[in-house]
Structure 1
Amino acid sequence: MMSSAPLAPVRRRRVFYIPGYDPFHPRRYRELYRSEGREQARLSGYALDLKARTGAEGYGWHVTAEIDGQPVETEFEVLVWSDIVRDSMATSILATYLQLIRTAWIYIASGALWRLMRLRQGPVIAALYPVFLLLVQLLVALGLGAGLAWVLGQLGTGPMIWAAQILVGLGAAALLLRGFKRLDNKLFAYYLMHDYAHSAALRGQNAPELEARIARFTKTLSTALAAGEVEEVLVVGHSSGAHIGVSVLADLLHQGLPDNCPTLSFLSLGQVVPMVAFLPHADRLRRDLREMSEQRDIPWFDVTAPGDGCAFALCDPVAVSGVARAAQRWPVVFSAAFTQSLSPARWQELKRRYFRLHFQYLCAFDAPKDYDYFQITAGPLTLGERYKDRAPSPSRLTKPVNRYTSVEPR
């Protein structure tokens, strides 16, 4: 059935935000929305206020806005999977290097790496960055250990010296590696390695704990739709949260949407879908991509930007994954146009801060064009109404390059 389109401006909305691979507490997103929303409201001349949400399950916040003269109340809820992320990151240094070997082998042996390189260079470089940096750290640590062992060797020979050389050499290398790991809040090598390892662990198949969380998210959305208390339910998936959102909404469609439910919309931001969809066992995700691309109930808009080196910018996630058919209608792919929407000074400040730019979709723009995260999430138009005349970007990539196109879940 079709979601019923509202006959009047949106007065009430529920937003369900699915983060990417992020181990932090969801209050991080509340404070980001608070500060950046206040700044965007100042720049764009509308009113927006945020307060903590009370008396409800889950973690979220309440937004009151007046945009284009229309008052709107929005309830935000973060669909949390950060505990799964933290568990996947709770590994030793040795285990991380074993992950590096296994993950590199999966992407290389499957051919996924070479095909991803035919899309955008940025996310592939981002994927190779932790491999390169972790190997450099290992070589420096081993070099230090070997150097100290050599110095000890100049003191003499014999079993005691040899034992001391081994102990001192290995100990120094281990201490330096620990030091490098403590700096990872600035280097992001371990963080990114764990991210790619998590996606590749089952060669694109969801881990059981993630499948269980997707089922929980689906139930949460179904309950919100059945309540019928708002004009729009908007799902926002950022980074890895985009492909989780695809599967949640596909599962929801399998169950069937409630009668007379609010408009249901999907906004994917900074997506990295090909990193998973190009793996051999990602049949479930490819099926969900195809079904979401052909359905009529949920308008889906995909926003990226060439300035974001961590996303597959302007890559149609369905088409490049090789599962698009003639019936494809979604997503509408377009750019947030960082270089045009940020002032020259602001762009110069941010353009080398790659990780920060990956979150720019959730932040204020000096001169937003037709993408304004806060008007989308707190304004009086549904996502479909806002972009009903928006044509896809003519520079988007739609050529199928994926080797694996099966859509039957294992």
Structure 2
Amino acid sequence: MSAEQAQTDQAEQQVRHRRVFYIPGYDPIHPRRYRELYRKEGAEQARISGYTLSLSPAPRGRNYGWHVESTINGQSTQADIEVLVWSDIVRDSMDTSIPATYAQLIRTASEYIGSGALFRLMKLRKGPVIAALYPIGMLLLQLLLALLLAWSVLALANLLPPLGGVTPALGALIGVALAILLLRWFKKQDGKVFAYYLMHDYAYSAQHKGANPPELETRIAQFTDTIAEALQTDTDEVLIVGHSSGAHLAVSILADLIRQGRVPQGGPELAFLSLGQVVPMVSFLRNAFRLRADLAYLSAREALTWVDVTAPGDGCAFALCDPVGVSGVAPPDKRWPLVFSAQFTKSLSPARWKELRWRFFRLHFQYLCAFDAPLDYDYFQITAGPVPLATRYANRPPSASRIEHPVSKFTSQTP
């Protein structure tokens, strides 16, 4: 029996109905992907841990979602899960030409390197920094191969006698055309190598040096309204889950929600679960005033519970880096987040860990998946079980190896 199940046995059921709002990271895919992931992995976790979990369609609404019913240790709970979609914004930001992507590469590298942010990020975790450098290296390699192809065709045209009217000038044109075709072919293969995808991801945050683009601010306001409405309903807990880049969106949404006085006294419990966060990739940039202010504000609020879960095995996240502390904005009365590890190497069996260890993008989503040797982290019990986040981790100590000391060069919260 897991620690969470033992806790459930000892406590009176506190959650019979929960509203969950999932905020994905920088992802252009339709939100049905997350429903299918939840369905598949939830069934597997239920089988492993000995409880029941079932999904059904949610009533048609503004957001894509699904309904979940669970029975854990004899206690039945219902949850309505909605995805707060910004994939359309992501798709628009990715709709660029090959030359525009290389221009993004130059601007993004200049911002992270020129500001010193990249070198400070390397003091935290090497994994996400390598992930940030990977698209730069891969795109430059692709460009180099295309240029070598063009040069080879031109050199061949210069060395050989004209054949079939192929003069050096025509050879140069053919070489350039083949180079362009090769670059286009590389782009079509990006579903396997993710160079363009990751480049667009980092470029989106860097384009305004850490400030939110106008379209994202508009969407944040809409998400804030949606959650405020849920807090007025007859539910026991409103849980916000921010994964990857979605974590820093959730920080700003929740900060706005509380600042605006939209968390009712005596209403549902408000909880925030950040998973695999990459907050420093944004908060360390020079113009991330809004995010740094929101981090500082949210970290001292009594109106919510904030738990931050990462794992050193996830090379795409800033594992065990307190996003408030490392950003240099921790106030004297800081309460949150509670930072601890999902412990991939212990909560996955040796065989399963061996299978997933080098699948970096898959591991970045492991927080949303089943563990075959679960410890005290179970995404499905958190989102659909009878225990609220505050109670579940009330006595959970933070990981001793967490990083809290300030690292960012830029700590100002106002322009």
Secondary structure of the corresponding residue to residue 294 of structure 1: coil
Letter in 2 for 1:318: V
Which of 51, 57, 64 is residue 62 of structure 2 equivalent to? 57
User: 2:252 matched to 1:208?
Assistant: no
Farther-moved stretch of structure 1 (145-154 vs 353-362): 145-154
- Distance in 1, matches of 2:202 and 2:108, equals 7
* Aligned counterpart, 1:127: 132
* Aligned counterpart, 1:327: 333
* Aligned counterpart, 2:316: 310
Letter in 1 for 2:27: D
- The Cα offsets for residues 13-37 of structure 1, whole Å up to 9 and x where unpaired, read as 0000000000000000000000000
Secondary structure of the corresponding residue to residue 226 of structure 1: coil
Farther-moved stretch of structure 1 (239-248 vs 136-145): 136-145
* Aligned counterpart, 1:188: 194
- Distance in 1, matches of 2:265 and 2:33, equals 35
Residue 161 of structure 1: how far off its partner (Å): 2.1
Residue 260 of structure 1: how far off its partner (Å): 2.5
- Distance in 1, matches of 2:213 and 2:168, equals 46
* Aligned counterpart, 2:108: 103
- The Cα offsets for residues 270-301 of structure 1, whole Å up to 9 and x where unpaired, read as 00000000000000000000001111111000
Which of 240, 245, 252 is residue 257 of structure 2 equivalent to? 252
Which of 14, 17, 21 is residue 16 of structure 1 equivalent to? 21
TM alignment of 1:8-407, pairs within 5 A: 8-156=13-161, 161-227=167-233, 229-256=234-261, 257-407=263-413
Q: Unpaired runs of 5+ in structure 2?
A: 1-10
* Aligned counterpart, 2:5: none
Letter in 2 for 1:269: L
- The Cα offsets for residues 26-83 of structure 1, whole Å up to 9 and x where unpaired, read as 0000000000000000000000001111233310000010012110000000000000
Farther-moved stretch of structure 1 (21-30 vs 259-268): 259-268
- Distance in 2, matches of 1:55 and 1:170, equals 52
- Distance in 2, matches of 1:47 and 1:37, equals 9
- Distance in 1, matches of 2:15 and 2:62, equals 24
- Distance in 2, matches of 1:345 and 1:252, equals 44
Residue 384 of structure 1: how far off its partner (Å): 0.5
Secondary structure of the corresponding residue to residue 392 of structure 1: coil
Letter in 2 for 1:206: N
- The Cα offsets for residues 123-143 of structure 1, whole Å up to 9 and x where unpaired, read as 000000010111111101110
Residue 182 of structure 1: how far off its partner (Å): 1.1
**Regions of 4+ moved over 4 Å:** none
Residue 166 of structure 1: how far off its partner (Å): 2.3
Residue 7 of structure 1: how far off its partner (Å): 8.0
- Distance in 2, matches of 1:79 and 1:292, equals 20
- The Cα offsets for residues 190-229 of structure 1, whole Å up to 9 and x where unpaired, read as 00000000010100000000000000000000011012x2
Secondary structure of the corresponding residue to residue 205 of structure 1: coil
Residue 311 of structure 1: how far off its partner (Å): 0.1
Residue 258 of structure 1: how far off its partner (Å): 2.2
- The Cα offsets for residues 105-154 of structure 1, whole Å up to 9 and x where unpaired, read as 00011110010010000000000001011111110111011101111222
- Distance in 2, matches of 1:200 and 1:77, equals 28
- The Cα offsets for residues 152-199 of structure 1, whole Å up to 9 and x where unpaired, read as 222348x97233122111111111111111111110110000000001
* Aligned counterpart, 2:3: none
Secondary structure of the corresponding residue to residue 232 of structure 2: helix
- Distance in 2, matches of 1:68 and 1:192, equals 42
Q: Unpaired runs of 5+ in structure 1?
A: 1-5
**TM-score normalized with structure 2 length:** 0.95
RMSD, aligned α-carbons: 1.5
Q: Check whether the contact 2:157–2:166 (CA below 8 A) recurs between aligned residues.
A: no
Q: Check whether the contact 2:13–2:387 (CA below 8 A) recurs between aligned residues.
A: no
* Aligned counterpart, 1:3: none
- Distance in 1, matches of 2:69 and 2:244, equals 26
Identical pairs, percent:
63
Residue 401 of structure 1: how far off its partner (Å): 0.8
Q: Check whether the contact 2:18–2:238 (CA below 8 A) recurs between aligned residues.
A: yes
Letter in 1 for 2:122: M
Q: Check whether the contact 2:68–2:384 (CA below 8 A) recurs between aligned residues.
A: yes
**TM-score normalized with structure 1 length:** 0.96
Secondary structure of the corresponding residue to residue 206 of structure 1: coil
Farther-moved stretch of structure 1 (132-141 vs 17-26): 132-141
